[in-house]
Chain A
Amino acid sequence: GAGVSQSPSNKVTEKGKDVELRCDPISGHTALYWYRQRLGQGLEFLIYFQGNSAPDKSGLPSDRFSAERTGESVSTLTIQRTQQEDSAVYLCASSLLRGGNYNEQFFGPGTRLTVL
């Protein structure tokens, strides 16, 4: 009965390095979302996976950002050649799409990324 989990909880990296952030959604949830939250700001949508459909990548800020999802399980967000402006908390959420519009998103605790 675990919720959404993310790893690592904290990541410090040097500018120019690549990082991978992992999200384990709630079992059975077909939809998975990545968001970014800069200090003191609201969440920004990055990417959305729904089943076998093509992901909605409209929120990815640059081609340095990419994400994959294996079936309806784990997702990995990769940031290549990190920049200082990538420093933020990266949040993952999952939901079980049902009839109508009631599909509450369950969020993980986030990964705090610091780029030096």
Chain B
Amino acid sequence: DAKTTQPNSMESNEEEPVHLPCNHSTISGTDYIHWYRQLPSQGPEYVIHGLTSNVNNRMASLAIAEDRKSSTLILHRATLRDAAVYYCILRSNFGNEKLTFGTGTRLTIIP
């Protein structure tokens, strides 16, 4: 799977939007972009995924660049419960089912 690059850490004020960037310049045409997050002392949980078009769900939005070499996870209104490590992961849709985690972005929410 292609590699992703994320900032090590970010801070945001509570109740404000948060934009978490991810670079994946070597993404292939068959790679989906997945985001998971890991709250303190818990296993990771799925957030969102996409291929080419921007995606929205109840947790977040995913904005994908037109060339697909970068993407941004958007939390529209951060709460203290959103403090976690956020992982941007690429995975091919050709039967390679494992997730390859990097070090992610540690998001701190300031009350």
Query: Which A residues are within 8 Å of any B CB, using their own CB?
Result: 4, 31, 33, 35, 41-45, 48, 50, 56, 59, 91, 93, 95, 97, 100-110
Contacts and interface: CB of A to CB of B under 8 A. Distances in A.
Contacts, number: 56
14 contacts: A33-B99, A42-B102, A45-B99, A56-B97, A56-B98, A59-B98, A95-B97, A101-B93, A105-B99, A106-B45, A106-B46, A107-B45, A109-B41, A109-B42
A41 B49 contact: no
Interface residues on B, range: 20 to 34
Interface of B: 32, 36, 41-46, 49, 87, 91, 93, 97-104
Nearest to B51: A101
The 10 closest A-B pairs by CB, nearest first: A107-B43, A42-B101, A101-B93, A43-B101, A104-B46, A45-B98, A42-B103, A91-B43, A107-B44, A42-B102
Mostly, the B contact residues are loop
In the complex, which of the residues B46, B97, B101 has the most CB atoms of chain A within 10 Å of its own CB atom? Answer: B97
